[in-house]
Amino acid sequence: MESVIQVQNLSKQFGEISAVKNLSFNVPKGSIYGFLGQNGAGKSTTIRMLLSLVKPTEGSIHFFGIPLQHHKKEIFKNVGAIIEKPDLYGYLSAYENLKMFAKLNGIHPTHVQLMNQLEQVGLAERAKSSVKTFSQGMKQRLGIGIALIHNPSIIILDEPTNGLDPQGIADIRKLIIQLSKEAQKTILLSSHLLSEIEQMATHILIIDKGKKIIEDSAKALFNPAETIVEIATADNAHTLSLLQNSKWQSAIQFNRGPNIFLKMHYNEIPAFNRDLFQWQVPLMMLQPRHSLEDYFLQVTANNFSDEIIKNI
Percentage of the chain surpassing pLDDT 70? 92
Three-state secondary structure of 10-79: EEEEECCEEEEEEEEEEEECCCEEEEECCCCCCHHHHHHHHCCCCCCCEEEEEECCEEHHHCHHHHHCCE
Question: Residue 33 above 60 pLDDT?
Answer: yes
What 261-264 contacts at long range (C-beta under 8 Å, 24+ apart), as own/partner pairs, is 261/228, 261/229, 261/230, 261/231, 261/289, 261/298, 262/228, 262/229, 262/231, 263/226, 263/227, 263/228, 263/229, 263/312, 264/225, 264/227, 264/229
- Residue 310 is predicted with a pLDDT of 36
Yes or no: say if 171 and 141 are a contact pair by the CB < 8 Å rule.
yes
Judge if 3-217 and 224-300 fold alike in CATH terms: no
Assigned CATH for 224-300: 3.30.70
Question: Does the pLDDT value for residue 178 go beyond 90?
Answer: yes
Q: In what order do the strands lie in the sheet with 259-264?
A: 252-256, 259-264, 227-233, 283-289
β-strand 227-233 against 283-289: which pairing, if any?
Answer: antiparallel
Cα dihedral value 267, 270, 276, 278, nearest 10:
-130
The yes/no answer on whether domain 3-217 falls in CATH 3.40.50.300 is: yes
What mean pLDDT do residues 111-122 have?
94
- Judged against a pLDDT cut of 60, whether residue 35 lies above it is answered with yes
Nearest-angstrom CA–CA distance, 20 and 40:
10
Every domain of the chain and the residues it spans: 3-217, 224-300
In one letter, which amino acid is 110?
Answer: T
For β-strands 252-256 and 79-83, DSSP reports them as unpaired
- pTM, whole model, 2 decimals? 0.78
Average pLDDT value for the chain = 88
Q: How far apart are CA 247 and CA 119, in angstroms?
A: 58
Q: What are phi and psi of 127, to 5 degrees?
A: -60, -35
Average pLDDT over residues 204-224: 86
